[in-house]
Amino acid sequence: MLDSDFWQNKAVSQKIVKEKKLFEDLLESYDESIRKLNDLDDLNELAVEENNSDVMKEVSKNIIELRDTVKKNEVKCFLSNESDSLDCYIEIHAGAGGTESQDWADMLRRMYLKWSDKKEFKSNLISEHKGDEAGIKSSTIKIEGNYVFGLLKKESGIHRLVRISPFDSGARRHTSFASIWVYPVVDENINIEILDKDLRIDTYRSSGAGGQHVNTTDSAVRITHLPSKIVVQCQNERSQHKNKETCMNMLRARLYDFEIKKKEKESSSDEAMKSEIGWGHQIRSYVLQPYRLVKDNRTNFESTNPDKILNGEIDEFLEQSLYQIK
């Protein structure tokens, strides 16, 4: 880093500095964990000799806390890809089924927003297309925080819900689908070439929150990238200019993600997965009736407490997907 040319390339230097800090933090935390473990071992021996149950309980409590710290560091070791440290966008689209699927899409959005809140990350609503009676037809949210994309990147895919419908007067069981698409917020130093001739820009009246001004002017923006057919839209700002700027950032992110997937030879399977929101393509099932179970179809990890999962406590599912050998 003392090389005079090191700082000339801002993107490369920032990446290396960030990686260096990650490794330093991991090593420091490892050394600290070893010291704490040794101290707890000595303290436990004394507690056993003196038959001090209060101290033994305190040791057990500290060991659990230490285990949680080690688990967090273990997860960080799996987040070594170039884009893992970036913030992310989450696109949510309801599948076929009308109100049922639209309500399910909204439930998934709440799940990720609650997860973000529990992590003390920052989240923003970028766009929203409300459902006809309830829920959402589609929505995009942005989450900012340490290694957000790395943690959530495996959430892309079809999520399936089975429940007794609150919208069915006959109280019948319904199956609903919604797609999740997670992609990274591109760092400003990453160069993504976008030509004006490749864009179609449409403006329209916002249907979401934002006050009277948003709802009575064509402030919302939709941009279509013609070569890739990628479409992005934003309506969270009152200013059309700001919405266009956000759309361009999202488009850069989508194109960057597309290139990453292409290099990893994953783009074809991901696009096929995204193209059909229905049976046989789901990555995770959430069953509320006749039994209660959330199961990831890729890792086989499951939970019998769907309420907890839908309340944003999805860390175990995220961790298991990271541990899965690619």
Q: Dump pLDDT digits (tens) for 135-183.
A: 999 999 999 998 899 999 999 999 999 999 998 888 889 999 999 999 9
**Same domain for 31 and 126?**
no
Q: Is residue 51 part of a domain?
A: yes
| Residues 69 and 163 both lie in one domain | no
For residue 158, list its beta bridge partners: 179, 282
Answer yes or no: do 115 and 165 share one domain.
yes
Picking from 27, 55, 77, the residue at the C-terminal end of a domain is 77
Q: Report yes or no on 96 lying in a domain.
A: yes
Give the chain's domain count: 2
What separation in angstroms does the CA of 216 have from each of 140, 182, 220, 233, 264? 22, 31, 11, 18, 44
Looking at the fold, whether 136 and 43 belong to one and the same domain comes out as no
Write the CA distances from 93 to 135, 164, 188, integer angstroms: 11, 21, 27
236-254: b (≥16 Cβ within 10 Å) or e:
bbeebeebbebbbbbbbbb
In this structure, the answer to whether residues 71 and 89 fall within a common structural domain is no
Q: Residue 20: what pLDDT?
A: 81
User: 257 and 169: one domain?
Assistant: yes
- Cα 87 from Cα 143, distance rounded (Å): 6
SS3 category, 92? strand
Task: Tell me the residue range of the domain where 123 lies.
Answer: 84-326
Last residue of a domain, one of 77, 101, 129: 77
The residue to which tokens 């839908």 are assigned: 310
| Residue 1 within any structural domain of the chain | no
Helix 53-77 × helix 10-50 angle, to 10° = 160
**Which CATH number is 255's domain given?**
3.30.70.1660
Coil, strand or helix: which one is 54?
helix
Distance of alpha carbon 140 from alpha carbon 274, whole angstroms = 15
Tokens standing for residue 145: 């925080």
Predicted pLDDT of residue 210? 44
Residue 129 covered by a domain: yes
**Which of these three, 54, 77, 100, is where a domain ends?**
77
Is there a single domain that holds both residue 66 and residue 88?
no
Same domain, 216 and 158: yes
Q: Is residue 213 part of a domain?
A: yes
The reply to whether 50 and 165 lie within a common domain is no
The number of CA neighbours under 13 Å toward the Cβ of 216 is 3
pTM for the predicted model, two decimal places: 0.76
**171-182 residues labelled b (16+ CB within 10 A) or e (exposed):** eeebbbbbbbbb
Residues 68 and 157 in one domain: no
Strand 220-225 relative to strand 88-94: parallel, antiparallel, unpaired?
unpaired
- Could you list the pLDDT tens digit for every one of the 326 residues in the chain? 556 677 776 666 776 777 787 778 888 888 998 999 999 999 999 989 999 999 999 999 999 999 888 887 888 788 878 788 889 999 999 998 889 999 999 999 999 999 999 999 999 999 999 998 999 999 999 999 988 999 999 999 999 999 999 988 888 899 999 999 999 998 766 678 889 999 999 998 876 544 444 445 678 999 999 998 999 999 888 888 999 999 999 999 999 888 877 766 554 455 555 555 555 568 999 999 999 999 999 999 999 999 999 999 999 999 999 887 54
Structure tokens belonging to residue 191: 């160069």
Alpha-carbon separation of residue 155 from 55, 183, 310, 322 (angstroms): 42, 10, 14, 11
The answer on 218 and 189 residing in a single domain is yes
Say if residue 180 is in the same domain as residue 226. Answer: yes
